[in-house]
Structure 1
Amino acid sequence: MANEEPRHSTISFSDVEKQENDQLEVEVEVEVVDYAVRAQWLRAAVLGANDGLLSTASLMMGVGAVRTDMKTMILTGIAGLVAGACSMAIGEFVSVYSQRDMEVAQMQRKGNKEGVKKEKLPSPLRAAAASAVAFAAGAAVPLLGASFVRDYKVRLGVVVMVVTLALLGFGALGALLGKAPPVKSSVRVLLGGWLAMGITFGLTKLFGSVGL
């Protein structure tokens, strides 16, 4: 019987290249998803900071319409910062926890109990902390602007000026993260902020003038 040569399994270069391309595509998809999640978190932080900026500034402008002393305006702004940050944190905690429970329940219904990994699920505590910090950061802008000006009219002007610059910045950043035109978005956010502050100032001034 003739000796048969041992057969060796051969892998062609095209097969190796295909495996490398498939692995590269998977890595790219993971990176794209990771960047998308980060962009969503960053955009949510920008919106939270914008909310803190506008609500606190409007509250300070409203109080400034009837009280001229700096202490009252600053204390009102601090109260708005603390209350708003707590409200945002609690609301975000409840919302994310509900979303987390729904995702876990859906996985368990599909029989994927072992696939439920805590590190891949949204963290309610992290979301609550991020919302509170973002709101407080935005609310600190008008507070810092008003803390060093004792003259009443100049103080109101400084608050409006710093809030205007911050609104333009937050509007542009939010638009870039959402892939929208930054100029149009900034102008829209600015006009909305001016409208909110103007309405709050005007109505508070009106109610204060009638003795309420």
Structure 2
Amino acid sequence: MAALEIEASNETNIPETDVEQQREQEIKIKYSQRAQWLRAAVLGASDGLVSTASLMMGVGAVDQDVKSMIITGFAGMVAGACSMAIGEFVSVYSQYDMEVSQMKRLNNGSDNGKESLEEIKKEILSNPFKAAGASALSFVVGALVPLLSASFINNYKVRLGVVIAMSSLALMVFGVLGAVLGRAPVMKPCLRVLTGGWLAMGFTYGLTKFLGVLGISGGI
């Protein structure tokens, strides 16, 4: 009788263990999804700001016309948003396929497992289309900062100064936002983002200016 009771208790414990493991996996996937959305949003906005501001600074190094800066910045914003969307779509879809394959192996093709898998796919797994849209949107939001900063300023030197100042302020905001949402120290991430943006803008401006001195970019 004692042996039968032990076997019965073991049989009843197996489903509970499976349920706990499935819940743990769902929690891990949910946290992974949130981290991915955060990464896409913060990096997309930072990339949009830095790349667009750097392009505008580069053109501004050899051409003082405000229209040239705005057109270049706009083209960079559209191209960058498309690139971010495609890259995020491919990346998330690859991760989506891997997670679905892993859950299929764990469920072993059972009917209950298939129903559970469909629920998890709808509620937990990242949607590649939504991720692509969010990435493109965040890139555009970042790119609009230098574009709007330069749109209404005709004076060349003032325009460059405003673009640098507003881009720096926005980079600090993105750095702080990423640190707060990620529950990380604020100072170091903020300084990393800000320093990286300054280096990108300064390097692009300096190199383009050098090409302008050599006469290579004189036709712009």
Same fold (TM over 0.5): yes
Seq. identity, %: 64
Aligned residue pairs total 185
Residues in 2 aligned to 1:88 and 1:33: alpha-carbon distance in whole angstroms: 23
Write the deviation string for residues 27-60 of structure 1: whole angstroms up to 9, x where unpaired. Answer: 9xx8998677446523431221011101110111
Q: 5+ unaligned residues in a row in structure 1: which ranges?
A: 1-26
Structure holding more helix per residue: 2
Give the aligned partner of residue 116 of structure 1. 117
Change (3 A) 1:124 1:35: closer
Distance 1:171 1:125, change over 3 A: same
Q: CA deviation at 1:196?
A: 0.9
Contact 2:54-2:200 at 8 Å conserved across structures: yes
1:157 correspondence with 2:165 = no
Corresponding letter in the other structure for 2:117: V
Corresponding position: 1:72 with 2:68: yes
Question: Which residue of structure 1 aligns with residue 7 of structure 2?
Answer: none
Letter matched to residue 45 of structure 2: A
**1:86 alignment partner, one of 69, 82, 86:** 82
Structure 2: 5+ residue stretches without partners:
1-22
Structure 1 residue 45 corresponds to structure 2 residue 41: yes
Alpha-carbon distance change, 82 to 179 in structure 1, aligned in 2, over 3 angstroms? same
Quote the residue 2:57 is aligned against. 61
> Which contiguous aligned blocks of 4+ residues in structure 1 show a shift greater than 6 angstroms?
30-33
Classify the secondary structure of the residue corresponding to 1:116: helix
RMSD: 2.3
Higher gyration radius (CA): 1
Partner of 2:143: 139
What's the TM-score, normalizing by structure 1? 0.80
Rounded to whole Å, the distance in 1 between the matches of 2:208 and 2:190 is 27
Query: Following the alignment from structure 1 to structure 2, what is the Cα–Cα distance between the partners of residues 196 and 44?
Result: 20
Residues 180-191 of structure 1 aligned to structure 2 (within 5 Å) = 180-191=184-195
Quickly say closer, same or farther: Cα 1:43–1:108, change in 2 above 3 A: closer
The answer (yes or no) to whether the contact 2:56–2:69 under 8 Å persists in 1 is yes
2:94 alignment partner, one of 90, 98, 107? 98
Q: Is the 8 A contact 1:39 1:177 kept in 2?
A: no
Using structure 2 for the length normalisation, give the TM-score.
0.77
Answer yes or no: is the 8 Å Cα contact 2:66–2:154 preserved in 1: yes
Contact 2:66 2:151 in 1 (8 A): yes
